[in-house]
């Protein structure tokens, strides 16, 4: 294990110790990785101030610089763990530490209101990509997707199917694999930002795969693939997660309830409202207009439907 790996492992072991992140940034400076150190420090500031954005107008400049660094190829510094699936197929997860954020949007649909502060008390590893067809086939031994390609996201998978995938992997000792909660998904997607997308407020087909026919918030209509893209085609967010906006909608564990935000718990929320039939999905997709791909946008559908714009990514925890 390298010195950097050891420092990152310390963050996973004690994720509430904020000083550990700054120690990592200092280590990067000492080892001539100044761009990565700058990216890490700016991201920590973005996270630190995300629940009071109006009090920190400098956040816009921090976010712009983060986007610039990632566009230049600077890789975010995040603890990482790789699950080895059957046949030697890797599934990489980045560690998302515990923290607080503002969930929802006052500019969005009624079911995204009110904006409310949420605290997640436990860290978790989250797949850096939606589950790919290669990963799906390694575990489930079937090819269910409409659009074919090992590095395309797995689609035509229902919420029930995704649970079966997670159950198969959770048979491994000391490993729990599951769908993210709606709050975990939005927290990870935002990565400390309060804009409509982790890269800003204006969608473009250069940053995500959505229906280019749609225009929203200053965007222009443009040519788009009109099918899923290979995972990782677009730049990552500051936690090193790809394809949070567009490509395929991502199932979450929650049951959908329209007025849920008015009374949802402030700590580790997960909607399990009795009598509800629909499951939540997040992130929009390749065939949705850009406003449906926002960080706060909530979608829902029956747990047994199969569409070519539904996929998923997984959370895993190691005991």
- The predicted pLDDT at position 220 comes to 85
Q: Are 314 and 235 in contact (CB under 8 A)?
A: no
Q: Which residues contact 238 (CB under 8 A, 6 or more apart)?
A: 39, 43, 46, 66, 70, 76, 191, 192, 193, 198
Please spell the DSSP secondary structure of 261-273, one letter per residue.
GGT--SBS-----
What's the whole-number average pLDDT of the chain?
96
Q: What is the CATH number of domain 81-318?
A: 3.90.1580.10
Tell me: the pLDDT tens digits for 23-54?
999 999 999 999 999 999 999 999 999 999 99
* Per-residue model confidence (pLDDT) at position 171: 82
In the chain, % of residues over pLDDT 70: 99
Cα 124 to chain centroid, rounded: 12
d(CA 228, CA 147): 7
- Checking if the pLDDT of 274 tops 70, the result is no
For the chain, the structural domain boundaries read 3-77, 81-318
Q: How far is CA 127 from CA 92, 130, 193, 200, 223, in A?
A: 6, 7, 20, 22, 28
pLDDT at 275: 62
Contact between 207 and 224 (Cβ < 8 Å): no
pLDDT band at 201 (very low <50, low <70, confident <90, very high): very high
In this structure, is the dihedral angle defined by the CA atoms of residues 196, 200, 204 and 210, taken in order, positive or negative? negative
**Of the ranges 169-178, 214-223, 289-298, which is most confident?**
289-298
Counting every residue written for the chain, the total comes to 319
**pLDDT over 90, % of the chain:** 90
Burial class (CB in 10 A: 0-12, 13-18, 19+), 6: exposed
């Amino acid at each position: 294990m390298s010195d950097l790996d050891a420092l990152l492992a310390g963050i996973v072991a004690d994720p509430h110790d904020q000083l550990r992140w700054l120690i990592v940034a200092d280590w990067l400076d000492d080892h001539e990785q100044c761009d990565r150190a700058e990216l890490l420090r700016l991201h920590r500031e973005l996270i630190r101030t995300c629940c009071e954005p109006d009090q920190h107008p400098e956040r816009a400049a921090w976010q712009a610089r983060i986007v610039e660094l990632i566009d230049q190829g600077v890789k975010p510094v995040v603890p990482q763990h790789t699950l080895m699936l059957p046949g030697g197929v890797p599934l990489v997860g980045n560690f998302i530490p515990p923290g607080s954020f503002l969930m929802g949007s006052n500019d969005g649909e009624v079911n995204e209101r009110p904006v409310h502060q949420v605290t997640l008390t436990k860290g978790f590893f989250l797949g850096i990509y939606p589950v790919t067809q290669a990963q799906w086939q390694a575990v489930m031994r079937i090819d269910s997707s409409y659009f074919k390609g090992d590095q395309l996201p797995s689609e035509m998978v229902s919420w029930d199917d995704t649970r079966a995938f997670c159950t198969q992997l959770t048979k491994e000792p000391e490993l729990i694999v599951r769908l993210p909660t709606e709050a975990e998904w939005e927290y990870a997607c935002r990565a400390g930002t309060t804009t409509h997308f982790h890269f800003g407020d204006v969608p473009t087909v250069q940053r995500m795969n959505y229906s280019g026919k749609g225009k929203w918030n200053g965007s222009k209509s443009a040519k788009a693939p009109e099918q899923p893209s290979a995972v990782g085609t677009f730049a990552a967010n500051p936690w090193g997660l790809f394809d949070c906006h567009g490509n395929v909608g991502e199932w979450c564990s929650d049951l959908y309830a329209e007025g849920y935000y008015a009374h949802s718990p402030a700590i580790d929320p997960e909607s399990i409202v009795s009598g509800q039939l629909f499951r939540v999905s997040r992130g929009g997709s390749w065939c949705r207009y850009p406003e449906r791909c926002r960080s706060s946008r909530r979608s829902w559908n029956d747990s047994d439907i199969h569409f070519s714009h539904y996929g998923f990514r997984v959370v895993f925890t190691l005991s």
